[in-house]
Amino acid sequence: MGVPPSPAPPVGRAAAAWGLASGAVDDFFDVVHRQRACRSFGTDPVDDADVERVLDAATFAPSAENRQPWVFVVVRDERRRAEIGALTRRAWEEGGRAHSEGRLAPGLLAEVDAGARGGVSSAPVLVVVGGDTRLGDARVLEASIFPCVQNLLLAATALGLGSSLTTLPLVFGRELAAAVGLPDEVRAMAVVPLGWPARPLSPPRRQPLADKAHREVYGAGWPPA
Ligand SMILES: Cc1cc2nc3c(=O)[nH]c(=O)nc-3n(C[C@H](O)[C@H](O)[C@H](O)COP(=O)(O)O)c2cc1C
């Protein structure tokens, strides 16, 4: 049996309309059950203090040999965001969409489509997450970066900020690196938008734990303890 998600709280401007200070979420398990991709943002600014809290949480992730190879470039500049947005749109229109059509459920396809065509880059902040290849073994670079990205996403959710893990712009990794001045040794690995959600997000859709877990040996299923 899965744990039923708590109803999504109003967020951003919607939270304000409900008379709440913010869409912040306190309980860790509520944060986990509410974290999901946001691809449509309002225009309200995101304070540097909030960006810093989110990035600080990201840096508390585990990494191979504790080498902490993460690099964050926080992009607020409108032209630079548009440049990254154009790479995302190009990656989608020149192959991403064709690859995803028929693979994604229509609702998700429509969300990714709107995100790739400008929703994601409309966020007031884009965080380009890089992995420094000088810090540790290349074979575990990705495994050392994505825990930090997950911390980043959870911290954003805890503050009521919308975010999403995007990789589409990596199709044009060299252009993305050039847009934010990454040296050759730092590989761009994700772009995470941060902003106040344009509308409240519905709860994430996930398959039940019983479909994924096994007691002792694979295939035993997850009968009640
Ligand atoms: C490795 C990875 C790459 C992803 N790349 C993109 C992307 O380029 N664009 C996008 O809109 N979402 C991207 N996503 C977000 C997924 O679509 C999303 O996590 C998934 O559909 C679950 O949806 P939810 O977060 O709304 O519950 C990516 C997620 C992962 C883990």
Mean residue pLDDT across the chain: 91
At 48 the pLDDT is: 97
* In contact, 69 and 141? CB cutoff 8 Å: yes
At 11 the pLDDT is: 52
Distance between terminal CA atoms of the chain?
A: 12
Give strand pairing partners of 129: 72, 190
pLDDT at 14 over 90: no
- CATH class of the region 12-200: alpha beta
Tokens of 117: 């065509």
Distance from C-alpha of 93 to C-alpha of 90, rounded to nearest angstrom = 5
At 17 the pLDDT is: 37
Query: Is the distance from the beta carbon of residue 157 to the nearest atom of ligand 1 less than 6 Å?
Result: no
Can you tell me the mean pLDDT for 160-168? 98
Query: Is the distance from the beta carbon of residue 109 to the nearest atom of ligand 1 less than 6 Å?
Result: no
Query: Is the distance from the beta carbon of residue 36 to the nearest atom of ligand 1 less than 6 Å?
Result: yes
Number of neighbours of residue 5 by Cβ within 10 angstroms: 17
Can you tell me the mean pLDDT for 61-74? 98
* In contact, 113 and 97? CB cutoff 8 Å: yes
At 126 the pLDDT is: 98
pLDDT at 4 over 50: no
At 5 the pLDDT is: 47
* Ligand 1 centroid – CA 163 distance (Å): 10
pLDDT digits (tens, 9 = 90+) for 111-127: 999 999 999 999 999 99
pLDDT at 10 over 70: no
Q: With pLDDT > 70 as the criterion, what percentage of the chain qualifies? A: 90
Please state the φ and ψ torsions of residue 210, each to the nearest 5 degrees.
-60, -20
| Selection from 200, 223, 192 nearest residue 51 by Cα | 192
* Ligand 1 centroid – CA 148 distance (Å): 16
At 22 the pLDDT is: 64
Can you tell me the mean pLDDT for 50-58? 98
Angle (CA) 17-196-171 rounded to 5° is 155
Q: Tokens 């970066």 label which residue?
A: 145
Q: Which of the pair, 211 or 11, is modelled with greater confidence?
A: 211
Which one-letter DSSP state was computed for residue 197?
Answer: B
Query: Is the distance from the beta carbon of residue 213 to the nearest atom of ligand 1 less than 6 Å?
Result: no
Per-domain residue ranges for the chain? 12-200
Predicted TM-score (pTM) of the model is 0.91
Q: Which of the pair, 19 or 223, is modelled with greater confidence?
A: 223
* Ligand 1 centroid – CA 63 distance (Å): 22
* In contact, 38 and 52? CB cutoff 8 Å: no
